[in-house]
Amino acid sequence: MSDAPPIEARGLVKRYGEIVAVDHVDLTVERGDVFGYLGPNGAGKTTSLRMLLGLIRPTDGGARLFGRDPLQVGARALDGVAGFVEGPRFYPYLSGRKNLRLLADLDGGVPPSRLDEVLELVELRERAKDRVGGYSHGMRQRLGIAASLIRDPRLLLLDEPTTGLDPAGMRDMRELVKRLAAEGITILLSSHILAEVEELCNRDAIIRRGTVIYEGRLDELLRSAGGGFRLRASEPDRAYSLLLAQPGIEVARNDGYVRLQADDAAVSAATIALGRAGIGITELVPVTTSLEELFLAMTGGESADAEAVA
């Protein structure tokens, strides 16, 4: 059991009458991952998270957290697991510290120093005595992470943690996620902000209409787009003709540039050949495909957003 992955779901299905919200979802989150979970509006992200945590019962399939099935062992499956789905909730008339103390007591209690540690980590110690009703949205999000960290989790599930934050709040939240990941916490991050996932995550899954259409390493997904290189030369016609004759290179003309599809060694050999022919290279840059471009292509142009089917 100790070697079991933090999250393992197989064949997860959730139906609401005739509506299939989640359709045979398989997921594996490995230890140390910052795992991005992406999907258009209504794709099934939040429903999946609820089933992972045992908050709702799947119609079919199952999920395990560190090898434990929440539907079989109940709350014991959540040992070492924390986070929030669809935003944290607090008593607005209590202070941030009193909210944390209440949650800690319900969970068996922790020493006061632990509350100080998590408040310091999320940069709320100076506002810990203020009522949560006076907190900004970003402060409540950070308090939600503080509440999750009380139990010193090994796995943290965060559902849209930067939604509604201003740019500074989003930056602070991303830095916090990076710090938590650096401490060895495995993180499942459900987000509709694709640049955020691209910055933070090493692996991801894309869900569309309840079905996972990609799961794997983010860098491999981006590399699979095969962006190639874009070249501008002093004599574009001669450059194009010469490159057509080079082995291992696919060449195309595009808006005054020459587009190359080749590995680094073939591109290096091509630049040497251009130089020997007296053709100057004024620009040679890799053409990259963003996660947003890939996402839109894979989901048929549907926008990533918060969950509609809950």
Residue 308, pLDDT above cutoff 50: no
Lowest mean pLDDT among 7-11, 74-78, 108-112, 277-281: 108-112
Residues in the chain: 310
Q: How far apart are CA 254 and CA 228, in angstroms?
A: 13
CA distances to 21, 57, 112, 158, 198 from 209, in Å: 7, 19, 45, 21, 22
Q: What is the pTM of this model?
A: 0.77
**Paired sense of beta strands 34-38 and 60-65, if any:** unpaired
Q: What is the rounded average pLDDT of the residues 164-191? A: 89
Q: How far apart are CA 43 and CA 22, in angstroms?
A: 8
* Mean pLDDT, all residues of the chain: 87
Strand partners, 34: 187
Taking only the tens place, the pLDDT of each residue in 68-83 is 999 899 888 999 999 8
pLDDT of 294-304, one tens digit each?
Answer: 787 777 766 55
> What CATH fold (topology level) applies to the domain 226-286?
Alpha-Beta Plaits (3.30.70)
Q: What is the pLDDT of residue 29?
A: 96
Amino acid present at 279? I
Residues of the chain above pLDDT 70, percent? 95
Q: What's residue 310's pLDDT?
A: 38
pLDDT for 17-32, tens place per residue? 999 999 999 999 999 9
pLDDT tens for residues 30-43?
Answer: 999 999 998 887 88
Average pLDDT over residues 264-272: 89
The fold adopted by the segment(s) 7-217 is Rossmann fold (3.40.50)
Q: Is 261 left (phi over 0), alpha (psi -120 to 50) or beta?
A: beta
pLDDT surpassing 50 at residue 52:
yes
User: What pLDDT is recorded for position 219?
Assistant: 81
pLDDT tens-digit series, residues 209-263: 899 998 998 888 877 766 678 889 999 889 999 999 998 888 888 777 888 878 8
Q: Where are the domains of the chain?
A: 7-217, 226-286
